[in-house]
């Protein structure tokens, strides 16, 4: 299945949100980075949840024939990076995200907070 970069980024954000990812942000990297069109950044409160979010993203996209080209940091579970070509996913432990601050590093990229479902939690 072929998806447009924006559609892929939104699908990744939705999966992360469904798995209780926090502060999900889409960074439009078109014209800024040759590596990818979108960064999707999400936080989680513990390493188990970081890995669960990464697993869900990989599994749900594989069901649609979209496969991860490269994955780093999974075993440690503090910052999992997943490369899907048109979108690169960063799932952070909250304190790691604050430390590395990709939003500031890529401040030139238009950003958009993902407005997921609010289930009252």
The pLDDT value given to residue 54: 98
pLDDT over 90 percentage in the chain: 89
Is the overall model pTM greater than 0.85, yes or no? yes
Nearest to 84 by CA among 10, 18, 19: 10
**What are the sequence ranges of the domains in the chain?**
5-112
CB atoms < 10 A from the CB of 55, how many? 14
CATH number of the 5-112 domain? 3.30.460.10
Angular region, 85: left φ>0, alpha ψ -120 to 50, beta rest: left
- On the question of pLDDT at 44 being above 90, the answer is yes
- Dump pLDDT digits (tens) for 61-81: 999 999 999 999 999 999 999
């Amino acid at each position: 299945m072929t998806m447009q970069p924006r559609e892929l980024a939104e699908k990744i954000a939705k999966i992360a949100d469904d798995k209780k990812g926090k502060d999900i942000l889409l960074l439009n990297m078109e014209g800024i980075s040759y590596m990818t069109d979108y960064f999707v950044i999400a936080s989680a409160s513990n390493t188990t949840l970081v890995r669960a979010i990464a697993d869900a993203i990989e599994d749900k996209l594989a069901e649609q024939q979209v496969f991860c080209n490269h994955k780093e940091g999974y075993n440690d579970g503090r910052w999992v990076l997943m490369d899907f070509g048109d979108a690169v996913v960063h799932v952070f432990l909250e304190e790691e995200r604050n430390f590395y601050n990709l939003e500031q590093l890529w401040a030139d990229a238009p950003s958009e907070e993902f407005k997921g479902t609010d289930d009252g939690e």
